[in-house]
């Protein structure tokens, strides 16, 4: 069974998730920690729970989701997996960081390109990859059918959806991703978004004002 721990990091309060199972292996999704205190928060958790980080994943490469990648990669000597369409974002990352008041000393490049055909494995656990563009190119969601949760990045939030006014944003494509990839999951699937509190697929289908059933 997967244990999921959420940290809200950096001025954007971006959710970094540490997923672990009974094997002790863990993966880190969207490493967004900034500064000594936030770095200590996640490494203390990993140490206290005797976890072994084996991989980092990206839901997408907006700056708030990537600023801690180099720290984690160096600290644990692990690789970064993401969709190849994230590459252009990483190439411009230094510039984005300073314009958003974030510190990025070094950009961690992607080691492994993943898409819907990839199987994410750690310990005894597996995650399915869902390709969900629309908020940003290369957006992926990570789904566990056995533990009934999905990590949605900035695609779907508790009663909101990702903005589409940034580079590579596409409103119609985002709606398509949500309806075809997320709203086809079981209603009791827990949703862990890139910002804010968790929710469920069933709740969002009925209550999300941007995508609820019966609305445009």
Q: Could you give the CA distance from residue 106 to residue 97 in angstroms, rounded to a whole number?
A: 11
Sole window of 67-75, 138-146, 186-194, 206-214 interacting with Zn ion (rule: CB under 5 A):
186-194
Torsion of CA 188, 32, 18, 173, to 10 degrees: 30
Q: Which of residues 56-85 bind Zn ion (CB under 5 A)?
A: 62, 64
- At 87, is the secondary structure helix, strand, or coil? helix
Nearer residue to Zn ion within complex by CB, 85 or 154 = 154
Q: With residue 121 as reference, give the H or E element that holds it.
A: strand 119-122
Both structure tokens of 50: 């005797």
CB of 163 to Zn ion, least distance (A): 8
Sole window of 27-35, 38-46, 54-62, 174-182 interacting with Zn ion (rule: CB under 5 A):
54-62
Nearer residue to Zn ion within complex by CB, 196 or 202 = 196
Q: Could you give the CA distance from residue 63 to residue 187 in angstroms, rounded to a whole number?
A: 31
Residues in contact with 109: Cβ distance below 8 Å, sequence separation at least 6, in sequence order: 80, 90
147 to 166: interface string for Zn ion, x by CB under 5 A: -------x------------
- At 98, is the secondary structure helix, strand, or coil? helix
Sole window of 30-38, 76-84, 191-199, 205-213 interacting with Zn ion (rule: CB under 5 A):
191-199
Nearer residue to Zn ion within complex by CB, 1 or 166 = 166
Nearer residue to Zn ion within complex by CB, 154 or 204 = 154
Residue from 194, 200, 201, 204 that binds Zn ion (CB under 5 A)?
Answer: 194
- Sheet with 199-200, strands from edge to edge, namely 119-122, 125-131, 140-144, 149-153, 190-193, 199-200
Nearer residue to Zn ion within complex by CB, 38 or 154 = 154
Sole window of 21-29, 97-105, 106-114, 193-201 interacting with Zn ion (rule: CB under 5 A):
193-201
Contacts with Zn ion by CB under 5 A lie at 62, 64, 154, 194
């Amino acid at each position: 069974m997967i244990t999921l721990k959420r940290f809200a990091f950096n001025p954007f309060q971006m959710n970094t998730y540490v997923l672990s199972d009974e094997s002790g292996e863990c993966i880190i999704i969207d490493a967004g920690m900034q500064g000594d205190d936030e770095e200590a928060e996640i490494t203390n958790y990993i140490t206290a729970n005797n976890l072994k980080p084996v991989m980092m994943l990206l839901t997408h490469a907006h700056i708030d989701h990537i600023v801690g990648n180099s720290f984690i990669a160096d600290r644990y000597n692990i690789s970064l997996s993401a969709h190849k369409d994230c590459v252009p974002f990483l190439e411009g990352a230094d510039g984005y960081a300073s314009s958003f008041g974030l510190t990025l000393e070094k950009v961690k490049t992607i080691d492994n390109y993943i898409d819907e055909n990839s199987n994410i494995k750690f310990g005894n656990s597996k995650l399915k990859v869902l390709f969900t563009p629309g908020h940003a190119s290369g957006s992926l969601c990570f789904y566990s059918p056995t533990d009934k949760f999905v990590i949605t990045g900035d695609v779907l939030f508790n009663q909101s959806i990702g903005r589409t006014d940034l580079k590579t944003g596409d409103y119609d494509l985002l709606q398509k991703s949500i309806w075809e990839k997320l709203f086809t999951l079981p209603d009791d699937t827990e949703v862990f978004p890139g910002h804010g509190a968790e929710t469920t697929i069933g709740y969002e289908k009925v209550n999300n004002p941007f995508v609820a059933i019966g609305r445009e």
